[in-house]
A and B are shown apart, each in its own frame.
Chain A
Amino acid sequence: MMIHRQWRQGLAGIGLLSAAAQGMAFDQTEIERGEYLSRAGDCVACHTAPGGEPFAGGQAIESPFGEIFSTNITPDPDTGIGNYTRDEFAAALRDGVRNDGKKLYPAMPYPSYSLIIDDDIDALYAYFMEGVAPVSNQPESTDLSFPFNQRWGIGIWNWFFTSSEPFTPSNDRSDELNRGAYLVQGLGHCGSCHTPRGLFFQEKAMNGEGRDFLRGETLEGWYAPNLRGRGNQRHPLQRWSEEDIVAYLETGRNDYSAVAGEMAPVVAYSTSHLDEADLYAIASYLKSLPAGKGDEAPYDEQADEQTQAMLTHADVDGNTGARLYLDNCNACHFANGKGASQVFPSLEGSSLVNAEDPTGIIRVILSGARMPSTEKRPEALAMPDFAWRLSDDEVADVANFVRNAWGNEGGEVSAGQVAGVRDKLPEDRLSSEPTYID
């Protein structure tokens, strides 16, 4: 798939001078609209270092090529983007080009942001010039090894893999679906995590026309699940209603699941701040994407009932994983594995539990999980950690049990894999280990 690339020319006139240089004053509603759009784009997530000022950059973004440090996008003229004109700002967002002409690494999701329409660029510009406090902060510069330090190479990559056409609504679908497509493909840059990557680390598809679009990908050991929602299979988004998707994005939890891993901050900083009309637009768009071949996972009612019967009767002799489940997990997730609506996530059919790469489920068992606190559901409901209590063998046993209980179809987990994940757990994590036992 080759996409014709259109080079954007700086326009004469107002766009040549930065807002700061002109002492511009933007309309307050435009600034607020820009703030909202920045939430939709989740700019703050990557452009804020842990404990740092919002948007002042310095967050390390892991890539297969090394760490890429995000830049300062506050309007500070020296270290931030205060000197950017509106069109330089647009070029950074859509084309991945800095105002000194150098190319940004595609850790910046400009292949998605290229869809942002002019009106929204204007609003974002207004917000980043006047709605964000300038912070003087020079983040660490990205220093990848050869050949990835050759930024000119990105130009070739761009030529192959990106487009620069802003989003145009399709007459074939409703306004809501168009809005959803725009948010998902563009600002939301959902494909950055949820679309499989190709040989050159490009997203295999940038919109719903590609059958790989949002079909699921593993990143940092977390499975970013298949988001193609049309179909009657067991995959979460096929099973979820639009209301379920909205609840998940708005509150980090729904009747089936709760957010964990890399998606938790996305809900906390981005999707929980979107209005319901936009969330429904996103949901309806995701539900419109047909499931692809090979995405079948029919619900196995018989297997579900067998597991429930075994756990209900505590018929677990010789099945260490099932016994450990009763002793450690059953209190909240129950014998039916379905937990409780909005409170305890279901393990049956869960994308985390069934993921090909078990790193995510191992991490949750070892270090627990915590939902984000959101406006509508303020409690950061948490699962405690079991790293202090279960050995590598035991974690593997219980993971193997849940990955094959109730009709789940996850692959085998070894104690060695558990040990590997355990080694990488942060040392300063919150632990429920009793401290009064000497």
Chain B
Amino acid sequence: MAKINPPVDVVLVGLGWTNSIMGMELTEEGLSVLALERGEDRDTVPDFSYPKMADELTYGVRLKLMQQPAKSTLTVRHGLGDMAVPYRTLGSFLPGDGVGGAGVHWNGHTWRPQPQELRLKSYVEENFGADIIPDEMTIQDYGVSYEELEPFFDYFEKVAGISGKAGNLNGELQEGGNPFEGWRSNEYPMPPLARTHNDTLFADMARDQGLHPFPLPAGNASEAYTNPYGMQLGPCNFCGFCERYGCMNYSKSSPQTCILGALKRRENFSYQANSEVLRVELDSDGKKATGVTYIDSEGDEIFQPADLVVLGTFSLNNVHLMLISGIGTPYDPVSGEGVVGKNYAYQMNGGSTLYFKDKEFNPFIGAGANGEIINDFGVEQIDFAQEGFIGGSYINAAMTNGQPIRNMPLRSGAPSWGAGWKQAVQETYGHTMTIGSHGSNMAYRDCYLDLDPNYTDDHGRPLMRMTFDWKANDVRMTQFMKQKIDTLSKALGPDDYKLSFKDFDSHYDVRPYQTTHNVGGAIMGSDPSSSALNRYLQSWDVHNVFVMGANAFPQNLQYNPTGLVGALTYWAAKAIREQYLPNPGPLVQA
């Protein structure tokens, strides 16, 4: 029999971006809020201190800040007929671990979706006809509009402290910003980061081509900044240790730098690290959560009663917890029935590496969200009927670091070992820049998450199983971007360049790092038969469970997810505060 804690009003599962926000919002209501974080407690000093963070081997290669597969992982397969095997070595994606979650080790790319991406299915049907949607593609609308979310994007950008340049202020296009973005009510809280050489080269070339370059919206502070909570960021010094690292300089937007110091002052808030929630407990008819069961740092199993449960762990783990706890009906890819696990999607990326004999880029002067972007080939800019795919990309010239182990780009044909390799590295280091495509990924009937029938974790729970592979629609999208990037690369006049894009023979490979933008699996929507969460991220089935994170995306954006994740969390928090607390129950009638 598990030990039982005194009840709290709210238990937050996980303490990264989303539940740090929830902690602020719900403690303001006077509720007692307890956060349970399975990883360790972490703070800027001492955990991310200079100079120990600038250690590529420990953090960049051995991934000390990430979830360790030996403790927690999932299985992966390509298709329904395959046997899934465990993801034993981190590669393709890197779920974070510990207080701050992935908000500690991200790069800080902070986007809003284009407005039509939030109603993608309707947009496609209205503009190109339902018949261009392939049979197996299961895209949906989010059930919430850009207009509704705008104030929440705005507020999250203020809390996170984003450096950038607006392209569309209340409908008025702005010089130097992204003319293809949705309208925004305010300029970014800070001006863009200083430009690096690659940024300038790319921007000048793009303008010459009639394109519209703008600085990447950065969760890296361009100057000293104080957010609405009084939390502070110091100016980013372009140290080049951003993604995979905690920021040593209070410069990267993270729960630690932007929220937690303020949250920890609240007397009605508490948190416990090293406390892993195993499942959400439901009452006898399964309609209401009674709390959560977790294992504390001593290894004791404890029941924590609560009136409200907010799942705010990494998207994959949120889905796993729902499947384990029996919240909602598991998705069945054969019948198409059920919702939990449905529409898992990823990100379709590609890129070009350009070598210039006579140009020096000083790549060690890098920031996680340094970069120049064009969005001329975004989701809203492409004629899907004409091009034969649904989706889009932003194209970036980013320079984040010059770390010596993993950032040794080589010219095509250079040997990969020995004296020849050394020679090639010497010639190439500091003389390359990249142009990348960061693209959408649609949802498909047979790309989904469920419980693995064979493998269990160290608590005896079935591992989650990911079934996923690349589909022709998305390969056509990335091949389209390949042509564009080929043209852009040539226009820069490099001595050599090489392109790397998925093609029709490509299968999903978990080994090389691609991105940690794993989305879907517990998606939001307007209909309980096709979504696990309603438009307020509330479980359709268990009304006192809310689920925050990119698991809510019905398919993936062309952008990095954090901006939308933050906005959706504030949107859900407002609904909880104003609608749910006065009258607990389903916020949308099924």
By a beta-carbon cutoff of 8 Å, the part of chain A in contact with chain B is: 328, 331-332, 334, 340-344, 368, 370, 373, 375-385, 389, 430-434, 436
Contacts and interface: CB of A to CB of B under 8 A. Distances in A.
Given A331-B249, A340-B224, A378-B229, A434 B52 contact: yes
B207 interface: no
A379 B232 contact: yes
B261 A380 contact: yes
Contacts of B261: 373, 378-380
Nearest to B260: A379
Interface centre among B49, B64, B261 (most CB of A within 10 A): B49
B235 A376 contact: no
B183 interface: no
Contacts of A432: 45-46, 49-50, 52
Interface string B225-253: 01001111111010100000000111000
The 5 closest A-B pairs by CB, nearest first: A432-B49, A379-B261, A384-B49, A382-B45, A343-B234
A432 B54 CA distance: 13
15 contacts: A331-B50, A332-B249, A342-B226, A343-B232, A343-B235, A343-B250, A373-B261, A375-B230, A378-B265, A379-B257, A381-B232, A381-B250, A384-B49, A384-B50, A430-B45
Given A378-B229, A380-B261, 12 more contacts: A331-B239, A340-B224, A343-B232, A344-B234, A375-B230, A379-B257, A383-B45, A384-B45, A384-B50, A430-B45, A431-B46, A436-B64
Contacts, number: 78
Interface string B112-144: 000000000000000000000000000000000
Contacts of B235: 340, 343
B503 interface: no
Interface of B: 44-46, 49-52, 55, 58, 64, 223-224, 226, 229-235, 237, 239, 248-250, 257, 261-262, 264-265
A341 B46 contact: no
Nearest to A371: B232
A343 B46 contact: no
Contacts of B265: 373, 375, 378
A315 B226 CA distance: 34
Interface centre among B46, B64, B231, B235 (most CB of A within 10 A): B46
Contacts of B237: 331-332, 334
B46 A430 contact: yes
Contacts of A377: 226, 230, 232
B226 A382 contact: no
A375 B232 CA distance: 13
B231 to A, nearest CB: 5
Contacts of A373: 261, 264-265
Interface centre among B45, B55, B237, B248 (most CB of A within 10 A): B45
A332 B234 contact: yes
Contacts of B49: 384, 432
A343 B239 CA distance: 17
A392 B226 CA distance: 36
Contacts of B262: 378-379
A151 B64 CA distance: 60
Nearest to B261: A379
A381 to B, nearest CB: 6
